[in-house]
Structure 1
Amino acid sequence: MPSPRTLPLLAFFSLLAGGMAIGFAGILMRLSDVNPIASAFWRMALAAPLLWLWAWRSRDGDAAAGKRLDFSLGLLLSGLYFAGDMSMWHLSLHMTTVANATLLSNFAPIFIAVWLWLAYRLRFSRLFLAGMGLATAGAILLVGGTADPADGNGGGHLLGDALGLGSAVFYAAYQLVIKQSRETYSTARLMAWSTTITGAALLPLAWASSGNLLPASAIGWLPLLGLALVAQIGGQTVIAYALAHLPAALGSVSLLIQPLTAAIAAWLIFGEAVMPLQMAGGALLLCGIWLAKRGS
């Protein structure tokens, strides 16, 4: 792994920026008037044409740089894993509390660290492990502080909790495949294929889900367009670029910036109060990301 002195700062801050962009996904989904999985589908469907235009325009540059232009298993898996993440997380939101679903879906760093240790016997520095633990604890405080004490179902929806945890497994797999595929594909081509495959996999689920598949009015397309431009292109695409230049474990820990962004955005847009415990969790999360960076 690169030392802190050689860690590419542009990629690291790009990763944080991408994570913050994705933090707005839940806000935009709440503003849309289609069913949750349909909002995920439209996020892909509206982003894909722009990504394919980018991939087409960069084709000659990719060929000159020795990047692959063909299709591969890695491209297929990246789309399927992300579809698994999106569908399981959106379903979990209907079966458990928002706090549980959001928290469990952000356990991806732990699964990535376990996989790297099992598959490659990769050893992590104590500073990195401390940072990952601190960031995870911060996320627990941050998201756990949003749970409604009056809601007696917070811990009882086992299937919803299992789906939330399953989404973290799929997101961990997605990050690992994206990092590996970026070694041979450009960001444009990788994200064009991944987004298209994810959208194709989500369409039948969105069609079968209860609720609207299409917005009820023209203005209803605005949140969906925001999901495509902010979360998918401004978020996942920037993350795909950054993961090519950063250790996988550090990248996953740094993406815990998402629940912090979501909490701040919900406070600013919807007036949802941020409790002192959540503030403490946010501070721990940022300190944990900084320690993980230092220990990578």
Structure 2
Amino acid sequence: MKSRLDPLTVAAMAVTVVSISATAPLTAAATASPLAMAFWRNCLGFAVLGPFLLLLRRREVVRVVRGERGVLRREQWRPLVFGFLAATALALHFAAFMTSTRLTSVAMSTALVATQPVWQALIAAGQGVRASRRTWTGLTLAVVGAAAAAGLDIRSGGTALVGDLLALAGALAQAGYTALSERSRADVSTPLYSTFTSLVCGLELLLVCWFADISLTGFDRATHLSLLGLLILPQILGLGSLNFVLGRASATTMSVLLLLETPVAALAAWWFMGQNINPATVPGLLLIIVGVTVVVTSGSGEHATDPLDAYDVGIPPYPAHTPYIAQLPSVPQQVTSRHRSFRDPRVAWASHSGDESPTVTLTYHGAGAFDTLYMRRPTPPDERPSIDGPTLMLTNRGRRK
């Protein structure tokens, strides 16, 4: 993908970074329970994504409601289970991250939760993905930076150390959400999936607040303003400008730029809340940013340990660089089938250049971008859904030459 860094794109990038950076300061400035804030964060997210879903994906919603996509067929239960698990991981992310902003500094909370790509790389390594040396170098830098930045909290103990651990738990939960989402959303568009996860996550947090007897109403003015800011800034402006930028710049570029959330959030917390940054933590925070940057930009060096030809699915392994773009046939054809046919994933692969790693997954605080790219290897034969009924028929209505 060729970046078009015109003034409008640069302005949208700035709006994205500033809007998303407001998440931690707005949460820390509120007086309500962090779990209540997490519930309303997802409730507001669902209220925003729902109308956009009906506007952009109305036909898809109608097909799902009518059952024409066979969402609840036997072979679809597994993706559905992974979807619920992903939403649960998202709920844990919100609860841990938003609670950490109250117990530790905004700078530490945002820096530690920004290590999500590190945990995602470790999860991929556990699933059999071989990481490059550059990736392991970034992992080492990020871990050393996190240990150095949290050194003062470790020595002093208390609530600050608990906040640091919760921020790391939030990063791990977000990485789990991303990994589970890749296994559950193969046949669902991102708008529909984001709305679904926001709904499930909000319901789970509502149950937690109900069992813990946490009040969801009667907030003061500061909390109301924080909730309004979360709706306008990260949810509307942040997500909207991010999706606009992804149509003009690569996901890798935006992943690196989103790391600016740490200094921008720390500056906002200092300016509006008088929250100072301990100079002793600055080197560690910088190491975290550098390490995560190395991990994010080293995706092109990852290769699966299991060869793709181990699966007898009739599809050759993906080439490193596709030699040509797949073209449509010149003769008009009509496809008539009662079921949706399987598309060769190399067609989608061919539409992307080698400038960007196809394994980049861009998320921020649990909100997936609408243009995020997920490339999955072919499904093994024992996991492929069976298709009953008539076979695929091609009717050629062109004139014979």
Q: TM-score, normalised by structure 2?
A: 0.54
On the 8 A contact 2:24/2:110 being kept in 1, the answer is: no
Partner of 1:87: 95
Q: Cα–Cα, structure 1 residues 104 and 218, in superposed 2: closer, same or farther, change >3 Å?
A: closer
Structure 1 gaps of 5+ residues are 1-5
Partner of 2:216: 213
Counterpart of 1:37, as a letter, is: L
Question: For this pair of structures, how many residues does the alignment match?
Answer: 275
On the 8 A contact 1:76/1:194 being kept in 2, the answer is: yes
Q: Cα–Cα, structure 1 residues 16 and 281, in superposed 2: closer, same or farther, change >3 Å?
A: farther
The residue correspondences of 1:47-86 to structure 2 (distance < 5 A) are 47-60=45-58, 73=80, 74-86=82-94
Deviates more, 1:45-54 or 1:15-24: 15-24
Q: Cα–Cα, structure 1 residues 91 and 277, in superposed 2: closer, same or farther, change >3 Å?
A: closer
Alpha-carbon distance in structure 2 between the residues aligned to 1:176 and 1:115: 8
Partner of 2:32: 34
Partner of 2:383: none
Give CA-to-partner distance per residue, 1:243-264, whole Å, 9 cap, x none: xx858xx998886554444322
Give CA-to-partner distance per residue, 1:29-61, whole Å, 9 cap, x none: 122232110011111112212201000001257
Q: Name which of 150, 155, 158 aligns with 1:153.
A: 158
Q: Cα–Cα, structure 1 residues 131 and 169, in superposed 2: closer, same or farther, change >3 Å?
A: closer
Counterpart of 1:189, as a letter, is: L
Partner of 1:122: 129
Give CA-to-partner distance per residue, 1:196-232, whole Å, 9 cap, x none: 1111110122234466422435664221122233334
Q: Secondary structure at the match of 2:130?
A: coil
On the 8 A contact 1:34/1:214 being kept in 2, the answer is: no
Shift of 1:194: 1.1
Q: Name which of 144, 149, 153 aligns with 2:150.
A: 144
Alpha-carbon distance in structure 2 between the residues aligned to 1:196 and 1:175: 17
1:265 maps onto 2:271 in alignment: no
Alpha-carbon distance in structure 2 between the residues aligned to 1:77 and 1:238: 28
On the 8 A contact 1:138/1:283 being kept in 2, the answer is: yes
Counterpart of 1:25, as a letter, is: T
Shift of 1:153: 2.2
On the 8 A contact 1:93/1:101 being kept in 2, the answer is: yes
Q: Name which of 169, 192, 195 aligns with 1:192.
A: 195
Shift of 1:134: 2.5
Counterpart of 1:225, as a letter, is: L
Alpha-carbon distance in structure 2 between the residues aligned to 1:17 and 1:138: 28
Alpha-carbon distance in structure 2 between the residues aligned to 1:289 and 1:168: 12
Deviates more, 1:266-275 or 1:232-241: 232-241
Bigger relative CO (Cα 8 Å, ≥ 6 apart): 1
Q: Secondary structure at the match of 2:87?
A: helix
Shift of 1:288: 3.1
Alpha-carbon distance in structure 1 between the residues aligned to 2:52 and 2:34: 28
On the 8 A contact 2:35/2:209 being kept in 1, the answer is: yes
Counterpart of 2:38, as a letter, is: A
On the 8 A contact 1:75/1:194 being kept in 2, the answer is: yes
Counterpart of 2:158, as a letter, is: N
Alpha-carbon distance in structure 1 between the residues aligned to 2:19 and 2:147: 20
Alpha-carbon distance in structure 1 between the residues aligned to 2:167 and 2:14: 23
Structure 2 gaps of 5+ residues are 62-68, 73-78, 300-401
Partner of 1:25: 23
On the 8 A contact 1:179/1:240 being kept in 2, the answer is: no
Q: Cα–Cα, structure 1 residues 233 and 179, in superposed 2: closer, same or farther, change >3 Å?
A: farther
Deviates more, 1:39-48 or 1:126-135: 126-135
On the 8 A contact 1:103/1:144 being kept in 2, the answer is: no
On the 8 A contact 1:106/1:256 being kept in 2, the answer is: yes
Alpha-carbon distance in structure 2 between the residues aligned to 1:155 and 1:29: 16
Identity of paired residues, percent?
25
Q: Cα–Cα, structure 1 residues 60 and 211, in superposed 2: closer, same or farther, change >3 Å?
A: closer
Shift of 1:92: 6.0
| Rg comparison, structure with higher value | 2
Shift of 1:167: 3.4
User: Hey, which of these two has a bigger chunk of helix by percent?
Assistant: 1
Q: TM-score, normalised by structure 1?
A: 0.69
1:131 maps onto 2:138 in alignment: yes
On the 8 A contact 1:127/1:291 being kept in 2, the answer is: yes
Q: Cα–Cα, structure 1 residues 107 and 275, in superposed 2: closer, same or farther, change >3 Å?
A: same
On the 8 A contact 2:28/2:101 being kept in 1, the answer is: no
Shift of 1:281: 3.7
Give CA-to-partner distance per residue, 1:76-107, whole Å, 9 cap, x none: 3332210122234455677x655886666555
